[in-house]
Chains A and B, each alone.
Chain A
Amino acid sequence: MNYLTLSLALIFVIIPLLLSKVLRLELEKDTIIAAIRSIIQLLAVGYLLQYVFDAENMLYILLMIVLMIAAATQNARRKGRSIQGITWKLILTFVVVEVLTQGILLGLSITPPTPQYIIPISGMIIGNSMVLSILFLNRFTAEVEDHEDETELILSLGGTPKQAIHRQLITSIKASTIPTIESQKTIGLVQLPGMMSGQIIAGADPVQAVQFQLLILFLILTTAVVTSILLGYMSYPTLFNERMQLVKSRMRE
């Protein structure tokens, strides 16, 4: 595809703009900003990736991963700002998930150790982990607030903080991972995953594309579960002090 053909794709931006104008949805400004941002961001990433791929330098790959983790942390931390030290907890979660998944992929030679594989897969892993973190933190902070009575009941009966928060923790872990599991049940039936579709459009063998997509799906499954559990078990102790008291000020946003 050349830039002239790509410019024709702007028709797909003009259609929502016109509809918004006619129906007075007032979405024009946001639509234009979104379109401009996606053009600039994706082109910049495209050129950056090309540079990193050509350079074949491990340092550049690491730098790209660090950037991804920083951006994901910045985005997710807003949802968990009521939890003490959430920034470091998120960074640690993303690092563990990245090391675990890439460790398996590269260690067992499932994918080759080239930037063409490491960077896009890292992007999918960290991106997915970020979404899971946001889902988990949203649910967990709400559960803690809504079930404060239950938490204090268990503490008052001589339970430990872990026992007192167990139900809320498990509910939040389940609630944040269920969408990933459920969406995998219908994958291929309702929609073809974007990455697989992209590979097929680019001329890849559909069966090969499916095999690679399956690998990514299983990676995302691990990412989802590990992210929620790790973040959950690192977050709950900060809600209590050393006298096993629920510290309310640490729960507030």
Chain B
Amino acid sequence: MRKIFYSVGFSLLGQIAFAADAIEGQVERQPVNITAIAMFLLFVVGTLFITYWAAKRTISAKDFYAAGGNITGFQNGLAISGDYMSAASFLGISALVFASGFDGLIYSIGFLVGWPIILFLIAERLRNLGKYTFADVATYRLQQKPIRTLSAISSLMVVLIYLIAQMVGAGKLIQLLFGLDYSYAVTGVGVLMILYVTFGGMLATTWVQIIKAILLLSGASFMAFMVLRMYGFSFEELFNAAVNVHKNGAAIMAPGGFISSPIDAISLGLALMLGTAGLPHILMRFFTVSDAKEARKSVLYATGFIGYFYILTFVIGFGAIVLVSTNTEFLDPSGGILGGNNMSAVHLAKAVGGDVFLGFISAVAFATILAVVSGLTLAGASAVSHDLYANVLKDGQSDERNEIRVSKMTTIVLGFVAVGLGILFEKQNIAYMVGLAFAIAASANFPVLFLSMYWRGLTTRGALFGGAIGLFISVLLVILGPIVWVDILGNSNPIFPSVYPAVYSITLAFVATWFFSVTDKSSSVKDEKAKFERQFVRSMTGIGIDGPSSH
């Protein structure tokens, strides 16, 4: 029984849950797809042109890290959704709906509900206190060196893990869609990402995200429209047709095995919600707008676009049930989907729009990966240059030019590392990676960030211990859990039974932060608490905010 639970646990919880955000398993190389490559080249030429334009406008550190603070709330909302709607979540969530119907909706809702909470509790304080990285907020009254070092380490870990997942997904997807060799595909992504970030900084990255978000939303809208049109825009008719052809019949309209234990469900919900609020590349986007007003608008638009996108993927998944699973053109001899379930949305593109639209969707998927890795790399580079180099190594006395230079060098290094790891992890099971990134973000970054804004009693020692414990525990529990310990390392039973450690690691991080703060007897405590009043007024009113640059 236990064995059955775990194997179901793997396929339903472990692999689908977070692997919906990462392309999995062996894929077959497809014949070279000329339309897709042509459309993708068009995207590359266009975005390189934007990078050239952005490079001329990227002079100061403020320009490089935060696009000068001149992005509007609407643009930033689109860019945030561009960051959030990865290619793998487009393909993965529609594949999840395709395979098990209603469960796909449960999963996407978990990814959405973090946004309102970020708006209500975090967004305006973050914007009012921060400059380039979220560590700016935590170090407003805490000691620079220890806190920045910790947050740079956890940010880099989140970025690298997320990058591996994206790179492996990119390689497989491109192999599948374009018929290009895996290592060429990964290298191509690495080179383009380095070009965007080093030359165009945040401005180019933002526009790459915006364009990609528009392309993805338009493509997905078209697919959902074509599917619904076939059924007279009646969901009931679409569901009816799907239930008739799906092997699980009416069961696809009800919750299935996706959530089997309430504690796992709560843990997954916490990881998604608080993890989103601790992802460095997402937090960084809030510094690209001029003030709290625009920051709030960013979240409103982002929530709207992301919610709309998840509704589209739901329709697309059902569309794939009726149009893809019944068409032998898309099936292998054993009756499975060509290229695996993750390809169901891609096959649907061909079913509703022919070869040209298939090429378009393939190009959009590639563009999507590029946009996401660029945002991640920029966040990783800023953790190194702004936190470690400028504020730890140079005591905040570094020259802006040198800081930007360090950032660009880090981008190049990260690019090479990402390509290397992408190739190294090609044949590895990466199902746990996105989950791990969210768990670290929720357990190491979020508690420190949240308590620095909300709790006067937080001290440097408390933040340091709490963050480090959150980081350590979340990594440890993932390693000891079913996916890594059993599936990858080949042990027979997991030491930690759940794939979702977040509820434990977050709780421990908060308790540790509290404990090591209240027992802190160091001389700096009085000063740190005294600064809270001023920090609070600034976080509420925006007085002293690091505003936009004027050029």
Q: Do A and B bind each other?
A: no
* Residues in B lying within 8 Å of A, measured CB to CB: none
